[in-house]
């Protein structure tokens, strides 16, 4: 993690502190910054204003949040809002059968049919290349 990522996470913790404990944000921010190493498995992209709001709006037992009261809503928010893996997005652009004028309609793409079809084609290509590799072994 870069120094810039660490600073971004600290600012996020400060923003959450202001939202959840407005009586003494610096005191709360210190505790939240101490939690950050335990959240190192999350990418920096998970620490956004929207995730800060989700954490602040989550139920708490006390005014000053414990680690689980920060980690659980943040992880839940990230699970719902993380971007599509880059590999799928890259391979989706490579779909040779897709023609905007003929193939799928915008409704198909919005329903996810386009992505299911692209993934199916990728899996078919893998199976074909594995079968070809096995045939070459004989």
Each residue's pLDDT tens digit, 76-135: 999 999 876 654 455 545 444 444 444 545 555 555 554 556 666 666 777 777 666 666
What is the predicted pLDDT for the residue at 32? 93
User: Is residue 17 within 8 Å of residue 9, measured between CB atoms?
Assistant: no
28-50: average pLDDT:
93
What is the C-alpha separation between 111 and 134, in angstroms, rounded? 37
Higher model confidence: residue 62 or residue 73? 73
Contacts 24+ apart (CB under 8 A), 23-27: 23/63
Residue 28 pLDDT > 70 = yes
What is the predicted pLDDT for the residue at 130? 66
- Sign of the Cα torsion 68, 4, 29, 34 reads positive
């Amino acid at each position: 993690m870069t120094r810039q990522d660490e600073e971004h996470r600290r600012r996020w913790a400060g923003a959450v502190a202001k939202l959840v404990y407005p009586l003494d944000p610096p005191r709360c921010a210190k505790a939240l910054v101490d939690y950050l190493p335990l959240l190192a498995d999350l990418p920096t992209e998970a620490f956004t204003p929207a995730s800060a709001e989700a954490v602040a709006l989550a139920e708490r037992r006390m005014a000053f949040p414990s680690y689980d009261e920060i980690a659980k809503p943040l992880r839940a928010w990230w699970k719902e809002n993380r971007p599509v893996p880059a590999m799928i997005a890259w391979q989706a652009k490579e779909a040779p059968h897709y023609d905007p004028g003929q193939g799928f309609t915008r409704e198909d793409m919005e329903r996810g049919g386009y992505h299911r079809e692209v993934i199916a084609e990728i899996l078919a290509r893998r199976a074909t290349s594995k079968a070809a590799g096995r045939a070459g072994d004989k």
